[in-house]
Amino acid sequence: MVTLAEVAQHAGVSASTVSYVLSGKRSISTTTRLRVEESIKELGYHPNAGARALASSRSNIIALMVPLRTDMYVPVMMEIAIAVATTARTHGYDVLLLTGEEGPDAVRRVTGSGLADAMILMDVELDDERLPLLRGGGTLGRAGSRPGDDQPSVLIGLPADTTGLTCVDLDFRATGALCVEHLALLGHRDIAVIGEAPAVYERHTGFAERTLDGLRSRARELGIRLLHRPCEGGYAAMAATLARVLDERPGTTGFVVQNESAVEPLLALLRQQGRAVPEDVSVVAICPEQVAVQASVRLTSVAIPAQEMGRSAVEQLMAKLDGRDLDDVVLIAPELTVRASTGPAPAGAPA
Amino acid sequence: MVTLAEVAQHAGVSASTVSYVLSGKRSISTTTRLRVEESIKELGYHPNAGARALASSRSNIIALMVPLRTDMYVPVMMEIAIAVATTARTHGYDVLLLTGEEGPDAVRRVTGSGLADAMILMDVELDDERLPLLRGGGTLGRAGSRPGDDQPSVLIGLPADTTGLTCVDLDFRATGALCVEHLALLGHRDIAVIGEAPAVYERHTGFAERTLDGLRSRARELGIRLLHRPCEGGYAAMAATLARVLDERPGTTGFVVQNESAVEPLLALLRQQGRAVPEDVSVVAICPEQVAVQASVRLTSVAIPAQEMGRSAVEQLMAKLDGRDLDDVVLIAPELTVRASTGPAPAGAPA
DNA sequence: TTGAAAGCGCTAACAC
DNA sequence: GTGTTAGCGCTTTCAA
């Protein structure tokens, strides 16, 4: 392994000079810099991560905590994770992958050991047990604080109480509202919401409840009848749910689907029952773009902006690490793209 | 931040004693150990990762390189990644998430900086540009080698030349053979293979080609007619592919599907054309269990054992780090589960 | 613009 | 069974 000292010797300068060439923290004459850079390349030098972390108290690593359960929105999580990793790299950071398994202990372990300088948490629950450890984080340098007291962090998702936390999320409330508006504008008066699996609501994951909130309050304002049913993914569960919905509200002409693995089953079932999309019923999905365009009917949808969520979370974190001030909560505005699955409510529909 | 020295002082012992209590590398009297452990808990001590890495030349981190493109088998990749992370933790290792983006440079960076002790590569191509850097890795301690010369590594996937490499993968050749056998045994003589997207073959990802190999050679042995068509995911692409297949081989009664996002579209299209599954045509999928059981017809399938692949890759790596000898190539035997999508070939089918 | 040198917190000889 | 101590490779004052 090549060390900084070896580079220094090779270039005929002192160790500190090499260090400063690398960090750019003090000015170096061009000739010296060139010589050093030449030596670095020639010797194939890479600074030792451990030594650097020890001397500088910064690991240049951010921890990303992903949920353990792989039952939900998996492609989205993956896309976020990759966006986090690539964005982090552009800032000179690497990403440590933590699973939710260890729970709060992982937070303590990473914080305590200085393994990571900061962390990003995905799939935060409304009342998450990891939150107390993170509140007020990101105040490095505040009077009386010692380095390491603190773990700057950003949440992807929105807990019930965001005091002292920085959060990034799609504005699911607005998303719900947007879906209702779109259908209402097309004349639909009876809307059914095919929600996430019951477990998601029981777990009190924020996004599902917020979406419902948005859907309900906008529906109330617009005088729309709304029926919400949680639904497991898959064909069988969707069939049962659909039957119940149509039994209870036969006049339903609009669907909002939030469980991506229920989308295709729903379309298949409607087709099977002779209900044409969008002539007889309209369907709006809340799902990744890819799912919307690959479905058997190109779906009108509100996209889940996974990339942007990941990228934005990292930007927030970098700002914190730089001591910059920033928003506590970044809500990404939803965008509804009209495709082939929604159209005017059928003429004969009950007003 | 609490240091080892503070713990030592608190417990009234020397620093090395504390260190040895932690590592267990020499025997400690019970009373001393108890006192030290008490102090550690009381002070909330966590060893500093950087200092540890510097002093011991081991970071206790393994790097996991995931493909950048999120277009393929995403849930599987995620499941593998999570299995890797959780298994690694049981061995005291953390996982660093690298995207394929940086390519070979990432390998050099991680190797050179001592950021990770070892690495796992996913989605390896038949002739991967990162391989030359890894061949012969894992020989730490061999005469003449200096620490850091080497990057012990394990691949998930199988390149063309496995010399000097350790690989873990599902035995896709056997998988292909198994699918053909199953259908042949049911009397099917004309089988169509709905493969991965053309890009996957162009990229020469090993698994797709190996599956095809297995399918073809077993078909030849059994006198089965086989037609292979690559296929993008989604409904539209599947429709076009299916039309071409049935045009070219109208007598087709068996399908093997390897692109999971083509499965549901295929089932929908067959239904739409009045071909009953499994009465008229049989379908075997190569996909995760979840996809197989959630499909509109419960699918006879060969599962992709994502968890086991991740776990196994880590076990191999741990063995290498311990200097143990091991297999170069671990092929996981495929298992075919019969569900509701396959049955005897229809009586009228051409022999 | 550059160099010298004091640590950062831990591990692992070496001593007893 | 335990203590002493010399580094690990780097960053960052302090001095010139």
Measure B220 CA to nearest chain A CA, in Å: 35
**Which residues lie below 8 Å from residue A294, measured CB to CB, with a gap of 6+?**
B233, B234, B235, B261
> How far, in Å, CA of B326 to CA of B344, rounded?
43
Residue range A218-235: average pLDDT? 96
Environment class of B176 (CB within 10 Å of its CB; exposed 0-12, middle 13-18, buried 19+): buried
3-state SS, B23-43, equals HCCCCCCHHHHHHHHHHHHHH
Query: Does position B329 have pLDDT exceeding 50, yes or no?
Result: yes
Question: How far, CA to CA in Å, does A31 sit from each of A11, A21, B171?
Answer: 11, 11, 57
Measuring alpha carbon to C1', the residue closest to nucleotide D8 is B55
Average pLDDT over residues B176-200: 96
Does position B277 have pLDDT exceeding 80, yes or no? yes
The pLDDT assigned to B150 comes to 62
Measured in angstroms, what separates residue A188's CA from nucleotide C11's C1'?
71
**Gap from B113 CA to C4 C1', Å:** 26
When computed from its CA atoms, the radius of gyration of chain A, rounded to whole angstroms, is 26
When pLDDT is cut at 50, 70 and 90, the band that residue A70 belongs to is low
Give the model's pLDDT for residue B137: 56
Distance from CA of A15 to the nearest CA of B (A): 17
Average pLDDT on A275-300 reads: 94
pLDDT tens figures, B287-315: 999 889 988 899 999 999 999 999 999 99
Mean confidence (pLDDT) of chain A: 91
Question: Which nucleotide across the nucleic acid strands is nearest to B56, CA versus C1'?
Answer: C11
So what's the pLDDT on residue A349?
47
Contact B176, B218 (CB under 8 A): yes
Which member of B44, B47, B74 has the closest CB to residue A74? B74
- Look up the protein residue whose alpha carbon has the minimum distance to the C1' of D11: A55
Looking at the predicted structure, is the pLDDT value of residue B191 above 60?
yes
Ranges A176-185, A197-206, A308-317: which has the least confidence: A197-206
- Residues with Cβ within 8 Å of B270's Cβ and at least 6 positions away in sequence, in order, are B242, B276, B277, B280, B281, B283
Q: Characterize the bridge pairing of strands B336-337 and B300-303.
A: antiparallel
Give the distance from residue A232's alpha carbon to the nearest chain B alpha carbon, in angstroms. 10
Q: What pLDDT does B328 receive? A: 87
Place of tokens 């409607």: A270
pTM of the predicted protein model: 0.92
Tokens 């000079």 belong to A17
Q: Report pLDDT for A100.
A: 87
Residues from chain B contacting residue A147 (CB–CB below 8 Å): 1
Residues of chain A found within 8 Å of residue B115, distances taken between Cβ atoms:
49, 94
Q: Which residues of A touch B268 (CB under 8 A)?
A: 264, 268, 271, 296
Predicted local distance difference test score (pLDDT) of residue B72: 63
Residue scoring higher pLDDT (A76 or A340):
A340
Q: Could you please report the per-residue DSSP string of A47-102? A: --HHHHHHHHS---EEEEEE-S--SS-HHHHHHHHHHHHHHHHHTT-EEEEEEGGG
Question: What confidence tens digit (pLDDT) does each residue in A152-191 have?
Answer: 999 999 999 999 999 999 999 999 999 999 999 999 999 9
Could you list the protein residues whose CB lies below 7 A from any atom in strand C?
A: A 12-17, 20, 26-29, 31-33, 51, 54-55; B 1, 3-5, 15-16, 19-20, 22-23, 25, 45, 47-48, 51-52, 54-56
pLDDT of residue B67: 85
Residues B125-170: pLDDT tens digits? 888 899 988 886 544 433 334 444 468 999 999 999 999 999 999 9
- Band of pLDDT at residue B323, cut at 50, 70 and 90: confident
Q: Given pLDDT bands bounded at 50, 70 and 90, which one contains residue A147?
A: very low
Rounded distance, CA A211 to CA A151, Å?
30
Assess contact for A341 and A282: CB atoms under 8 A: yes
Residue A95 with chain B: CB contacts under 8 Å: 96-97
**B230-264 confidence digits (pLDDT tens):** 999 888 999 999 999 999 999 999 999 999 889 99
Are B99 and A85 inside 8 Å of each other by CB?
A: yes
Q: Which tokens is A350 given?
A: 């009950």
Tell me: the pLDDT tens digits for A90-145?
999 999 999 988 889 999 999 999 999 999 999 888 888 899 888 865 444 333 34
- Residue with smallest Cα–C1' gap to D9: A51
Distance B54 CA to C16 C1' (A): 28
Predicted pLDDT of residue A142: 38
The values of phi and psi at residue A122, to 5°, are -105, 160
Across all residues in chain B, what is the average pLDDT?
91
How close does chain B come to A240, measured CA to CA in Å? 13
**Higher per-residue confidence, A76 vs A43:** A43
CA of B121 to C1' of C8 (A): 33
Å: B49 CA to D14 C1': 29
Q: What is the mean pLDDT of residues B83-103?
A: 95
More confident residue, A276 or B127: A276
pLDDT in tens, A7-21: 999 999 999 999 999
Selected residue of B133, B296, B299 to mutate for chain A interface (largest A Cβ count, 10 A): B296
pLDDT at residue B70 in the model: 60
- Determine whether the interchain pair A53/B49 forms a contact, defined as Cβ–Cβ distance below 8 Å: yes
Taking the C-alpha atoms of residue A331 and residue A313, their distance in angstroms, rounded to an integer, is 11
Q: Do the Cβ atoms of B239 and B271 come closer than 8 Å? A: no
For chain B, percent of residues with pLDDT exceeding 70: 93
- At residue A45 the predicted structure's pLDDT band, cuts being 50, 70 and 90, is very high
Q: What is the pLDDT of residue A75?
A: 81
The shortest C-alpha distance from A42 to chain B (Å) reads 14
DSSP state of A284: E
pLDDT of residue A233: 87
Which nucleotide has its C1' atom closest to residue A14's CA?
Answer: C3
The 10s digit of each residue's pLDDT in B44-88 is: 999 999 999 999 999 999 999 998 776 667 888 999 999 999 999
Locate A327 and state its tokens: 């928003």
Question: Looking at residue A150, what is its pLDDT?
Answer: 62
Q: Give the CA diameter of chain B.
A: 88
C1' (D7) to CA (B327) span, angstroms: 38
* Helix (H) or strand (E) segment spanning residue B185: helix B172-185
Nearest Cβ partner of B1 from A89, A148, A294?
A: A148
CA-closest candidate to residue A168, choices A101, A84, A91, A260: A84
Across the interface, do B46 and A108 touch by the CB < 8 Å criterion? yes
Q: Which of A124-133, B12-21, B336-345 has the lowest mean pLDDT?
A: A124-133
Q: Which residues contact B198 (CB under 8 A, 6 or more apart)?
A: B230, B232
